[in-house]
Amino acid sequence: MALTLSKKAMAVKPSSTLAITAAAKKLRSEGVDVVGFGAGEPDFDTPDNIKAAAIQAIQDGFTKYTPASGTEELRQAVCDKLKRFNGLSYEPDQIVISNGGKHSLTNIFEVLLNPGDEVVIPAPYWLSYPEIVKLADGVPVFVTCSKENGYKITAEELAAACTERTKAFILNSPNNPTGSVYTEEELRALAEVIIEKDIYVVSDEMYENLIYDGKKHISIGSFGEEIYKRTITCSGMAKSYSMTGWRIGYTAASKEIARLMGSVQSHQTSNPNSIAQKAALEALCGSQTTVERMQKEFDRRRMNMYNRLLEMPYLEPNLPVGAFYVFVDMSKTIGKLYKGKQIDSVETLASILINDYRVAVIPCADFGFATHIRLSYAISMEQIEKGLDRIEACLMALEPAEAEVQACAFRTESLAKAS
Ligand SMILES: *Cc1c(COP(=O)(O)O)cnc(C)c1O
C-alpha cells in the first residue's frame, strides 16, 4: 500500500487568499505600513458583558464536559432567539451547538450527504462551502449568478441546476462575499422550488444582525410547514457579537437531523467549550446595545467606501445591504498596462497593489468569481480612507492597451463549467 495519504484530504484546495494575507503580514512585520482589506472578522472587541460571563463561568467552575450538543440553557436561548428574531419555532432537541459556524456546516453535510449527492452552490460563494461539501463526499454544483441580479440566484436558475442527485442547496443571506441580501419575494420563489424539487436548504445566516438600509432579516424556514421541514438554519456568535475566537455556532433542524449531528459530534469533538457556551448565552440573552452600535458603524463605513469606489475609474462595486464586504468587479482593469506590462488577471493586479501600493485586497477566484475582488470594511474609517487613496493611485497609473484581453471573464466561465 506504501505510504499514501487520503485522496480526499489532498483534494482540498488551499485558500489562495492566504498568499496575499501572508504577503501583507510579512511586509507589516518588516515595519511597512500596509492597509489590509482582507479582514473576515469584525474589528471590534468582544462586548464586556460577554467577557464577564465567561470569567464568571471559570470562577463558578463551569469547566467540565457539557452535553455533546450543548447545554440545555443555551439551546433554549437559541430557540427563544429564533422565535423572537427569525419567526422560527424550534425545541431545544432540534438545536446543536458546535465549535463555530464552520463546524456546524461540516456536521450538517456529514449528516445529509451520501457519496455522489449534489449540492447546489450559487457563485460567488464563501470559499469553504465547496470544500466542506467535498469532505462529506458530496459534489458541489455551481450556478454563476448574474451581476444584474445582485449576484443572487433566481428560482429559475435553481430549478435548472437540480438533477435526480440533488440533495441540498446552500443559501447565504446576507452574503459573503457580495453583501447582497435576498428579498422576501426572492426567498419565497426559491422556497417553492425547494419544495417542488424536494431538497434541503442549508440557510447560512451568519450575518443576520449586520443588515442595513432599514431592511429586516428574513429566514427562509419561516414561510410555512413545507419549507420549514426542508430547512436547516445555521448561524453563530462570530460575526454578530465579534466573537470569532470563541468558536460557537449553532444549527436548527428537524429532531432527526439534530440527533444525528449530536451523535456525530459526540465522537468528533464532544461539546463545544463550556466557558464559551456561557459567553454565548450572555450574548443572546444580555443587552444588544453593542451589536447595534457595531451595526451603525459598519453602515457608516459601508456607504463611505461604496461611494468612493463608485467614483474610481474601472471599478464597478456592488452596493452591499448586509455583512461587511464590498464585492467589486475589476474586469475593466484587465488588459490595461501597468509600467508597460499588461495586467492579465485580478491576481496580478492584487500583487501590484500589495507590492507597489501597500494595500491588500482579496481576489475572488476561490469564491467562484475570477474577475472580482472583495474589500472588507471591518477596519477603521481612517484605514479605509488611506487604503482607498492607494487603490485610486494605482488605478490612475494604469494605461489602456491596444488589445484588451478577456482572460479573466473566460476563467470565471470555465470555473463554472468545471463543476
Ligand atoms: C465567518 C463565516 C462562517 C463561520 O464562522 P465561524 O467563525 O466558523 O463561526 C460561516 N459562513 C460564512 C458565510 C462566514 O462568512
Residue 147 lies in a domain: yes
Q: Establish if 2 belongs to a structural domain.
A: no
Query: Is 75 a domain residue?
Result: yes
Per-residue pLDDT, averaged over 349-354, amounts to 94
107 and 204 inside one domain: yes
Structure-block grid coordinates of residue 228: 420549514
Is residue 12 included in any domain, yes or no?
A: yes
Q: What is the CATH number of the domain that holds 12?
A: 3.90.1150.10
Residues 62 and 26 in one domain: no
- The pLDDT assigned to 415 comes to 66
* C-alpha cell recorded at residue 93: 432537541
Q: Answer yes or no: is 413 within a domain.
A: no
3-state SS assignment for residue 265: helix
Asked whether residue 117 falls in the same domain as residue 262, the answer is yes
Diameter of the chain measured on Cα atoms: 71
Distance 408 CA to ligand 1 centre (A): 27
Residue 101 Cα, ligand 1 centroid: separation in angstroms? Answer: 5
pLDDT surpassing 60 at residue 406: no
Residue ID of nearest Cα to ligand 1 atom 15: 176
Taking the CA atoms of residue 178, residue 182, residue 183 and residue 185 in that order, the dihedral angle to the nearest 10 degrees is 140
> 236 CB under 6 A from ligand 1?
yes
| 189 and 257 belong to one structural domain | yes
Residue scoring higher pLDDT (16 or 27) = 27
Of the residues 263, 286, 309, which one is the last residue of a structural domain?
286
- Integer-rounded Cα Rg, in Å, for the chain is 22
Any ligand 1 atom below 6 A from CB of 204: yes
- Residue 218 in any domain: the answer is yes
Strand partners, 98: 249
Does residue 233's CB lie within 6 angstroms of at least one atom of ligand 1?
A: no
The rounded distance, in Å, linking the Cα atoms of 95 and 235 is 11
Q: Quick one: pLDDT at residue 248?
A: 98
Residue 173 CB less than 6 A away from ligand 1: no
Quick one: cell of 110?
456529514
Q: How far apart are the first and last CA of the chain?
A: 31
The finding on whether 100 has its CB within 6 A of some atom of ligand 1 is yes
Is residue 412 in a domain?
Answer: no
Residues 323 and 349 in one domain: yes
Residue that terminates a domain, selected from 238, 256, 286: 286
How many C-alpha atoms does 39 have within 13 Å on its Cβ side?
20
Q: Which of 206, 277, 376 to mutate to test the pocket of ligand 1 (most atoms within 8 A of CB)?
A: 206
Q: Which atom of ligand 1 is nearest to the CA of 172?
A: 13
Please report the pLDDT score of residue 23 as a whole number: 82
Q: Are residues 37 and 151 in the same domain?
A: no
C-alpha cell at 382: 481612517
pLDDT digits (tens, 9 = 90+) for 255-303: 999 999 999 999 999 999 999 999 999 999 999 998 999 999 999 999 9
Q: Is the CB of 374 under 6 A from ligand 1?
A: no
Between CA 244 and CA 138 the distance in angstroms is: 27
| C-alpha 4 to ligand 1 mean position (Å) | 32
Structure confidence at residue 21 as a pLDDT band (50, 70, 90): confident
Average pLDDT over residues 335-352: 94
The tally of domains found in the chain comes to 2
Distance CA 42, CA 357 (A): 24
In a domain, 95, yes or no: yes
Residue 94 and residue 236 share a domain: yes
- Ligand 1 atom 4, closest CA: 101
The CATH number covering residue 232 comes to 3.40.640.10
Read off the pLDDT of residues 164-194 as tens digits, 9 standing for 90 and up: 999 999 999 999 999 999 999 999 999 999 9
Tens of pLDDT, residues 91-113: 999 999 999 999 999 999 999 99
Atom of ligand 1 nearest to the CA of 244: 7
pLDDT tops 80 at residue 419: no
In this prediction, residue 22 carries a pLDDT of 80
Residue 311 clears pLDDT 80, i.e. is over it: yes
Task: List beta partners, residue 406.
Answer: none
Q: Is the pLDDT of residue 411 over 80?
A: no
57-78 pLDDT tens trace: 999 999 999 999 999 999 999 9
Helical residues (DSSP H) of 198-288, grouped into ranges: 225-228, 255-268, 274-285
Centre of ligand 1 to C-alpha 168, Å, is 19
pLDDT tens profile 200-231: 999 999 999 999 999 999 999 999 999 999 99
Cell output for 380 = 477603521
β-pair type (359-360, 35-36):
parallel
Same domain, 41 and 76: no
Q: Residue 56: what pLDDT? A: 98
Please indicate whether residue 47, judged by its CB atom, sits closer than 6 Å to ligand 1. Answer: no
Q: If you measure from the C-alpha of residue 118 to the centroid of ligand 1, how many angstroms do you get, rounded to a whole number?
A: 22
User: Pick the residue with more confidence: 14 or 369?
Assistant: 369
Q: Are residues 73 and 31 in the same domain?
A: no
E strands, 35-159, in order: 35-36, 95-98, 118-123, 139-144
Give tens-digit pLDDT for 119-139. 999 999 999 999 999 999 999
Question: What is the arithmetic mean of pLDDT over 325-354?
Answer: 95
Is residue 171 within 8 Å of residue 203, measured between CB atoms? yes
State the pLDDT at residue 40.
85
- Do 269 and 386 share a structural domain? no
pLDDT exceeds 80 at position 358: yes
Q: Is 42 in the pocket of ligand 1 (CB under 6 A)?
A: no
Query: What residue's CA is closest to ligand 1, atom 5?
Result: 101
Do 59 and 21 lie in a common domain?
no
- Residues 232-268 have pLDDT tens digits of 999 999 999 999 999 999 999 999 999 999 999 999 9
The answer to whether 351 touches 365, Cβ cutoff 8 Å, is no
What pLDDT does residue 148 have? 96
Mutate to test the pocket of ligand 1, among 96, 102, 105 (most ligand atoms within 8 A of CB): 102
What residue numbers bound the domain in which 110 lies?
48-286
Summarised one tens digit per residue, pLDDT across range 390-405 is 999 999 999 988 654 5
Which of 239, 259, 286 represents a domain boundary (last residue)?
286
Q: Do residue 39 and residue 119 come from a single domain?
A: no
**For residue 13, pLDDT beyond 90:** no
Q: Indicate if the pLDDT at residue 418 is higher than 90.
A: no
Please tell me the predicted confidence (pLDDT) of residue 2. Answer: 86
Each residue of 364-386: pLDDT tens digit?
Answer: 999 999 999 999 999 999 999 99
For the whole model, what pTM was predicted?
0.93
Cβ–ligand 1 contact at 249 (below 6 Å): yes
**Mutation choice for ligand 1 from 126, 132, 207, CB with most ligand atoms inside 8 A:** 126
